[in-house]
């Protein structure tokens, strides 16, 4: 059974940075396509980034605007989301999830094995 556990969230001032981690267990990370989503109160859960295992590529949401970088350390079985120049509108619970069909998608219904989420709050 694949399990994903997020960490690294917190309170940060606008313009600050955070690095989120997603620890993956139960399956080899290099075989998995992993995405980051986020959900703000009262809003839909939106894709932030998705890293494909077979293509070795990463896609990002338009709102990322070059501020976030997703990476993975297969030896540590951990996926990271480095977030820079954070804005108040980035405030949300951030989740990592595994692609159910092996490829990236912008639809949350194509992902499963969701972690519990980590809260990111950007505020002065």
What are 17-46's pLDDT values in tens digits? 999 999 999 988 888 999 999 999 999 999
27: buried, middle or exposed (CB in 10 Å: 19+, 13-18, 0-12)?
middle
Mean pLDDT of 89-110: 94
Nearest CA to 27 among 53, 9, 59? 53
Report pLDDT for 109: 95
**What's residue 57's pLDDT?**
86
Say whether pLDDT at 80 is over 80.
yes
């Amino acid at each position: 059974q694949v399990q994903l556990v997020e960490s690294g969230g917190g309170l940060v001032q606008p313009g600050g940075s955070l690095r989120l981690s997603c620890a993956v267990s139960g399956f080899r990370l290099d075989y998995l396509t992993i995405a980051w989503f986020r959900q703000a109160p009262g809003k839909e859960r939106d894709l932030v980034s998705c890293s494909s295992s077979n293509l070795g590529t990463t896609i990002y949401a338009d709102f990322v605007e070059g501020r976030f970088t997703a990476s993975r350390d297969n030896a540590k079985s951990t996926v990271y989301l480095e977030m820079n120049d954070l804005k108040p509108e980035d405030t949300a619970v951030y989740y990592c999830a595994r692609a159910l069909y092996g490829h990236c998608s912008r639809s949350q219904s194509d992902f499963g094995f969701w972690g519990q989420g980590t809260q990111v709050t950007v505020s002065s």
